[in-house]
Chain A
Amino acid sequence: MLIFEKGQEGRKMSILPECDVPISLPKEDDQRKKSLHLPNVSENEISRHYTEAAKKAYGVNDGFYPLGSCTMKYNPKINEYIASLPGFAQIHPLQPEHTVQGCMEVLKTTEQYLCEITGMDRMTFQPAAGAHGEFTGLLLIKAYHESRGDGKRTKIIVPDSAHGTNPASASMVGYSVISIPSGEDGGVDLEELKKVVGEDTAGLMLTNPNTLGLFDRNILEITNIIHEAGGLTYYDGANLNAIMGMIRPGDMGFDVVHLNLHKTFSTPHGGGGPGSGPVGCKNLLAEFLPNNLVEEKNGYLFKSPVQSTGQVKSFYGNFLIVVRAMTYLFMLGKEGIPEASKHAVLNANYMMAKLKDVYDMAYPRTCMHEFVMSLSRLKKENGISAMDIAKGLLDHGIHPPTMYFPLNVSEALMVEPTETESKETLDQAITVFRSLYETAKLNPEILHQAPVNTSVTRLDEVRAARNLILRYDFSDKETDKDDTEN
């Protein structure tokens, strides 16, 4: 039941005191005439409504969440407490600098930590999500080439295994995209790369380890090929959790990088945001970063780079997300950061080892923090798709892996267990995966029907797109006085 269907006309909460000054209203002509339908509910009804919503949702706190390329690690509760401190939550973004030295210390210190982890020189926190970071990083690349009067660089090279946002971001910045296929080992095909690189190459976008869960062994050669052609290299930080503290994008030859604080640095996903996608870069790009970098000089002050690309959103980014990430970084520190990566990789390889005799691995070699299974054989022999296995997992209280991605593996399921899961959890999941395989072989019909233990069964997505219902319709509740009343 939607919240609009609960409550009664006239029911409400008492939030506001009486107005203690004379009333001023807009001129008649500027006053709202259109009716406004909002819920008429008590606090109790609101509270129960969202408790019910929580029961019909699934968070990291509810169980195993092995979602490839999304790093759904546990979200430490200390992060939430710190982010709720009035000294962070109740600060106006336009307070004078001397009254926000704590906030600026958060930005500066987190910048220093993340620059050390990525091997970059400077970092902006303005981008609000990974894709927003991609957009910002590509703007830096564009501004760099333009500042040198190099107008012929119009193309961005992106591997076919890349995240879908990579080509979309390149397009938003006015670049055309050259997609290059992966080689037999799952890495970038060097011969293909050499064929397409040239005077029109603005840059390359890459994540390493890539979305097949593999570390590209030729990485130094790849970044070198791009640099020799005069292009720049962009590191998509979605998979940083596999390598932090072990190797750095900056040392692998990348010029610009975005991070996903909500992935690698344990800030909650919130059902799809707010995230944070800070962008780091080498010095050659720093003068193009967005406004308001924090400098330290007898205290902290904001300074905008001379050739800044301006703003990609208001103010300084999703600040409270940065606070959470910094809390996490302080806890882990020098030793804990690589420890997290090591165990993320250990967990993934363990699960892969325990499943590879039944499920086909797309690339059966040592993986990083995630691995990709291909269910095309199961599909052919038993009619069971990646979707069917995913929906089967729902009935066992496990969030499914990423489905049908990467695009270059057919019937792909991409599993990322993360370092915060215990061996017992992994063992249970392995048992479930194996039993679903048995079911697929012996009793496939059950999986076509899955899920059955959820609040709704499989939903008709085609109908949703054909017969668009995108809001609640109040029209049958309208009375004739509506739209004339004030």
Chain B
Amino acid sequence: MGSFVPATDRDKKEMLSAIGIDSIEDLFGQLPQDVKLMDGLNLPSGMSEMEVCRKMEGIAAKNTVFPVIFRGAGAYRHYIPAVVKSVLSKETLYTAYTPYQAEISQGILQSIFEYQTMICELTGMDTANASVYDGAAAAAEAVAMCRDRKKTKAFVSAAVHPQVMETIKTYCFGNGMELTVIPEKDGITDLNFLKEHIDGQTACVYIQNPNYYGSLELAREIGSIAKAADAKYIMGVNPISLGVIKTPEEYGADIAVGEGQPLGLPLAFGGPYIGFMACTKELIRKLPGRIVGETVDFNGKTGYVLTLQAREQHIRREKALSNICSNQALCALAVGVYLSAMGAEGLKQTAIQCMSKAHYMANQLEAIGYPVINHGEFFHEFVTISKVPVEKVMSALEEAGILGGYPLTGERAGQILWCCTEMNAKDDIDRVIGILREV
């Protein structure tokens, strides 16, 4: 059996005698006898570290690690510089607690302050929080923070990631906000529907840019419609795209959110990921989650602390806007290291490569009879129609060690959502084209 308890029999004896009892069981005498576990847990016995290691390696080996991936749909394979893992492996950083004791947590607080700055720079917004669970939770929290007594409706584009939509729905079921889905038209948000239905009770309009199908939205126009109705404008964005595409601030957004996983976090079967949230100055006090601020110590030396905690559950308790306390600090650290390693120029090059490879692949696919159905501009994802059954396409690619695009369902059955990043070499794209030609 494995154990991490250092107490020896002798230690135990001395401790029991200091307490003045005979056995550890005496400490549990207050538990109700009739529901106490008398026969113990119905579980296997514990194992040595070596046995567990073998067992877990065996379980990991049951998964297929695809060397080549053309699937995105909310989780993206990008190159992660080696220095990211090196920094994240520093034991002090990954075993620390939430930095309530600021004097011994300056390293963590400073790294969050740097992260906040980088998110502001990426999005063009004024303030960012110290992260939330993931992009979907960030979207749902953003919608919730727009609510006030008179404004309780949320308009959300049908072209957002389906899991983001589901998460927003769940939060609205909780807080009672009325959710209206703005239908899509030709793969982007239907502006006319929004114009006709938005009203004075609308708290916010939420769109994703590039949207779920990879297309750029008419983001400026949607912002104007939201503004005219005095509603807040929330944009969900892919952070890599911001290396080359206009920021939410430039499109007129009040709040920018997104999934930070592309910035240095592995695919990890869906988590841990990181949600980022940034907003204009006016909304700072409504921004949920942790925020780090700069201050000075007794001697006037610069330092960092968690601040604006009056918004949080410590003080307002039942009036708090959000219950978030622990965020994704270690993931925020990864983002900080990633963006430091890339720099502005590196991020821009990454974005350009993602976009260029996607366009190259789209052209090649069209040439072999997989028409692209995105009407306007797209970033690094796009949708094609498949002339052969999608399962057949996917199996053929899988046999070659390639994870193909994501098969869409429902009304879009028969369509494939493809994704390219800087990781997809031209050779791999050409290989896919060659295989599809044969299918």
A74, CB-defined interface residue at 8 Å: yes
A479, CB-defined interface residue at 8 Å: no
Contact of A455 with B353 in the complex, beta carbons under 8 Å? no
B388, CB-defined interface residue at 8 Å: no
Contact of B259 with A454 in the complex, beta carbons under 8 Å? no
Contact of B341 with A50 in the complex, beta carbons under 8 Å? no
Q: Mark A87-131, 1 if CB is under 8 A from B, else 0.
A: 111111111100111110110000001001100000000001111
Interface 9-mer from B83-91, B188-196, B200-208, B223-231: B83-91
In A217-235, the 8 Å CB interface with B consists of 217, 219-220
How many residue pairs link A and B with beta carbons under 8 A? The number is 676
Separation of A191 and B111 alpha carbons in the complex (Å): 49
- Name the B residues within 8 Å of A143 (CB-CB): 173
Contact of A51 with B90 in the complex, beta carbons under 8 Å? yes
Contact residue among A96, A168, A266, A275 (Cβ-Cβ distance under 8 Å from B326):
A275
In A44-101, the 8 Å CB interface with B consists of 46-47, 49-62, 65, 67, 70, 72-76, 78, 80-82, 85-96, 99-101
B44, CB-defined interface residue at 8 Å: yes
Known: A26-B245, A61-B91. A270 touches B330 (CB 8 A): yes
A406, CB-defined interface residue at 8 Å: no
A194, CB-defined interface residue at 8 Å: no
Known: A167-B317, A423-B11. A337 touches B43 (CB 8 A): yes
Contact residue among B1, B291, B333 (Cβ-Cβ distance under 8 Å from A470):
B291
A469, CB-defined interface residue at 8 Å: yes
- Name the A residues within 8 Å of B269 (CB-CB): 88, 91-93, 100, 103, 315-316, 319-320
In A372-427, the 8 Å CB interface with B consists of 390-391, 394, 399-400, 419-423
Give, as a whole number of angstroms, the nearest-CB distance from B119 to chain A.
9
- Name the A residues within 8 Å of B296 (CB-CB): 459-460, 463
Give, as a whole number of angstroms, the nearest-CB distance from A237 to chain B.
14
Separation of A423 and B345 alpha carbons in the complex (Å): 54
Known: A25-B355, A92-B66, A350-B19. A34 touches B250 (CB 8 A): yes
B93, CB-defined interface residue at 8 Å: yes
Q: Mark A290-324, 1 if CB is under 8 A from B, else 0.
A: 11000000000000000001111111111111010
Separation of A3 and B333 alpha carbons in the complex (Å): 12
B27, CB-defined interface residue at 8 Å: yes
Contact of A57 with B105 in the complex, beta carbons under 8 Å? yes
Known: A19-B353, A170-B318, A174-B174. A269 touches B267 (CB 8 A): no
In B62-117, the 8 Å CB interface with A consists of 62-66, 69, 71, 73-75, 77, 79, 81, 83, 86-87, 89-99, 101-108, 110-114, 116-117
Contact residue among B4, B167, B342 (Cβ-Cβ distance under 8 Å from A312):
B167
Interface 9-mer from A134-142, A196-204, A432-440: A134-142
Contact of A319 with B97 in the complex, beta carbons under 8 Å? no
- Name the B residues within 8 Å of A320 (CB-CB): 268-269, 271-272
Contact of A26 with B377 in the complex, beta carbons under 8 Å? yes
CB closest chain-B residue, reference A365: B30
Known: A219-B32, A459-B296. A345 touches B24 (CB 8 A): yes
A-B pairs, 3 with minimum CB distance: A315-B270, A87-B60, A333-B46
Jot down 11 A-B pairs with beta carbons below 8 A, ordered by A: A57-B92, A57-B96, A73-B4, A99-B63, A130-B326, A309-B173, A310-B173, A313-B137, A331-B47, A349-B19, A420-B6
